Amino acid sequence: MKNALLLVLLLAASCSNDTTPVTPPRQPDKPAVPADPDLISFDAPAGWVKEPPANNMRKAQFRVPDREKKAADAMFTLSKLSPQPFPPNLERWAMQMGCDVPKHEELQGVHKIFFAQLDGEYRSDAGDEVPAARMLGAMVDTGEAAWFFKLVGPIDTVGDYRDDFLKMLKAAK
């Protein structure tokens, strides 16, 4: 009986001619999320999967899938160091890749950028190996810090992201 009465009341209310719009309750303003003062701002390309950094040196880490789904994933890492010259890092990367030290490019974005592409057989400091690998490595010099952006993995995976990587570097602030 109670259910029947409740149903009648609900039907009567829904048939009302009252056209007064219902105003939803005001949502409190969301506070702005403060930027992490210990992290340079950058937009990772679409499809990159954020992961927890594997060690304390890394400020950010992403798994980068092959767009064609033919090769293994690549790895993007971001590290922060005090301002320093780029060539010693490029030499270390060349040793990791088993290749000669390439010439680097100096680019201008929001900050000064030093960029290099290295091809070879990657051997990380942790002992990981990637044959037929490519590394896109860069240092973004903010004046207060040297931010090292590094994307490494199979040539087929990394090669597809070169333009996106450079766009990300130029917009980093």
pLDDT at 95: 95
Which residue reads 């602030």 in tokens? Answer: 173
Q: Is residue 35 part of a domain?
A: no
CA distance linking residue 133 with residue 123, whole number of Å: 10
The 10s digit of each residue's pLDDT in 34-92 is 356 678 999 999 999 999 999 999 999 999 999 999 999 999 999 999 999 999 999 99
Q: Is residue 16 part of a domain?
A: no
Q: Is residue 30 part of a domain?
A: no
pLDDT at 125: 76
Which residue reads 């719009």 in tokens? Answer: 21
CATH code of 123's domain:
3.40.1000.10
Among 23-32, 54-63, 93-102, 157-166, which is the least confidently predicted range?
A: 23-32
Neighbour-count burial of 1, counting CB atoms closer than 10 A to its CB (0-12 exposed, 13-18 middle, 19+ buried): exposed
Residue 137 has φ and ψ, to the nearest 5°, of -125, 140
pLDDT at 36: 61
Q: Is residue 149 part of a domain?
A: yes
Residues in the chain: 173
Q: Is residue 139 part of a domain?
A: yes
Q: Is residue 21 part of a domain?
A: no
DSSP string, 87-104: HHHHHHHHHHHTSPPPP-
Tally of domains within the chain: 1
Q: Is residue 25 part of a domain?
A: no
Q: Is residue 39 part of a domain?
A: no
The 10s digit of each residue's pLDDT in 5-41 is 444 444 444 444 554 444 444 444 433 333 566 789 9
pLDDT at 20: 46
Nearest Cα neighbor of 114 from 123, 104, 124 is 104
CA distance linking residue 87 with residue 29, whole number of Å: 48
pLDDT at 37: 64
Domain with 117 in it = 58-171
Residues 6+ apart with CB under 8 A from 132: 121, 154, 155
